[in-house]
Chains A and B, each alone.
Chain A
Amino acid sequence: MDILTLCNMASRRLNNWQLNELPAPSTARALLVFVIMVGITPAGAMWFESSMTTHMLVQLPLLIVLGAVCYQPKAQLNSFLTRIDPLGAIAFICYTGWMLFWMLPLNLDLATIEPSVRLLKLISVPIGIGCCFRWLWHQSNAVLKCVVVFETWASVTRLGWLYIESPLQLCSSYLIGEQQRVGTLLLVISGISATVAVFYSLFGSFNKKNDSTLAKSTSNG
């Protein structure tokens, strides 16, 4: 089996991953509202933002995942979005832009200081990252999906590496020791996700029942 065949298999498997097995949007919506409300209240905000680990590795991922799961546009909105962004490129720009925005230490710090930036975080992360990811995944082809997956993975890895290696305290709200701990955790996450992605690309879903659909579609064309 040569490398091209492997890449081809990987991109087909990614393309067939349709996010169909996610929990019901209503549950996710209730959870998202709860997380946002907790994030707004002073005690909740303090809990989430008092440590860099809970801020970056609990609150932000929760908002992203819940935003993605909640996303279920009505037919009217769906047709409007299909008309303005048929291939998911605009959603890709929005997703990348907001990811970049919230990876900047400046914005992470401001979110802990300024209520307006905190509110922006609670709104933009589920919509700008979570919903956009869902939309672009739904609309885009295998190439764009691969770009999204690899770019996200590479960003997490780069950020983890930067947090560990930087001799400077990048976030003024958090100690440098905590920054290094988050960096290590980001690298662990990127390592685990890379391993899972490789196994998934090569051997398919762990649920073989679902994977048979892929086998059929692959053999058909």
Chain B
Amino acid sequence: MAVYAMNIVLSLSIALGLLAWRTSNFSSFTYETDRRNAVEARPVQLSDWQLQSSNGKTVYLSELSDQLLLVDFVYTRCPTICRALGSRYEQLQRVINSSGNTQITLLSISIDPIYDTPQQLNSYRKRHNGLKDTWQLARPITDHAFQTIISETGLRVIPDKFGGFTHSDTIHLIENRKLTKIKPWSSTDWENIILSGKNS
């Protein structure tokens, strides 16, 4: 019976150990939290994303991310979360301007590149009082570029029945082409990063 009790304890330990390992010590139960924890634990080296900016020119991630880059993913027709993200970027833009920190750039990348032409991107920025110096907007040029962004960031984009998309409402911090942090748009960490000028 003692051996049986030991077997039970052993199997219980294995089961709990596996669950703890899978959920990063019982801290991530959803894909989104797991993605954030994984990036914090091990920053992701990104490839040189090929994008088309809102002025129609081709830009590469390496040209943008020599300093700190805050990236969100939006689509301009979005009636819900992208508006909140736009307002949040408007707030962060004010913080950047008041702090005088020129080492930080905001970047919104479209997840609906077919509809979001440079004109649409410009009008989205205009709606949120965005300034070209601090807030860049871009779309992936090819489907391959779009799939690369999706796979490297782990972003989930699901088409909904209204012709729009459901997607993550997080902001991504990229430093020297390395994805180092993913946090919710509402996190106050973003102000701290802008004010301190570094990833704290």
What is the interface of chain A, defined by CB distance below 8 A to chain B? 84-87, 89-90, 93-94, 96-97, 100-101, 104-107, 109-110, 168-176
Contacts and interface: CB of A to CB of B under 8 A. Distances in A.
B193 interface: no
B22 A101 contact: yes
Determine the main DSSP class of A at the interface with B: helix
Contacts of A84: 4, 7
A100 B22 CA distance: 12
B158 A173 contact: yes
A94 B10 CA distance: 11
B62 interface: no
A101 B11 contact: no
B29 A105 contact: yes
B65 to A, nearest CB: 25
Given A85-B7, A100-B19, A173-B158, 16 more contacts: A84-B4, A87-B4, A89-B8, A90-B8, A97-B15, A97-B18, A105-B29, A107-B22, A109-B30, A109-B31, A168-B30, A169-B166, A171-B30, A172-B32, A173-B31, A175-B158
Contacts of A101: 18-19, 22
Interface in B2-39: 4, 7-8, 11-12, 15, 18-19, 22-23, 28-34
B168 A172 contact: yes
A195 B34 CA distance: 38
Interface of B: 4, 7-8, 11-12, 15, 18-19, 22-23, 28-34, 156, 158, 160, 166, 168
Best-surrounded residue of A87, A90, A172, A175 (most CB of chain B within 10 A): A172
B39 to A, nearest CB: 15
19 contacts: A89-B8, A90-B8, A94-B15, A105-B30, A106-B22, A106-B31, A107-B22, A109-B30, A109-B156, A110-B31, A168-B30, A171-B30, A172-B30, A172-B31, A172-B156, A172-B168, A173-B31, A173-B158, A175-B160
A83 to B, nearest CB: 9
Contact of B15 (A93, A105, A169, A171): A93
A85 to B, nearest CB: 7
Contact of A90 (B7, B31, B168): B7
B4 A86 contact: yes
B183 to A, nearest CB: 16
B140 to A, nearest CB: 20
A96 B156 CA distance: 29
A142 B7 CA distance: 22
A92 to B, nearest CB: 9
Best-surrounded residue of A85, A87, A90, A93 (most CB of chain B within 10 A): A93
Contacts of B158: 172-175
B88 to A, nearest CB: 18
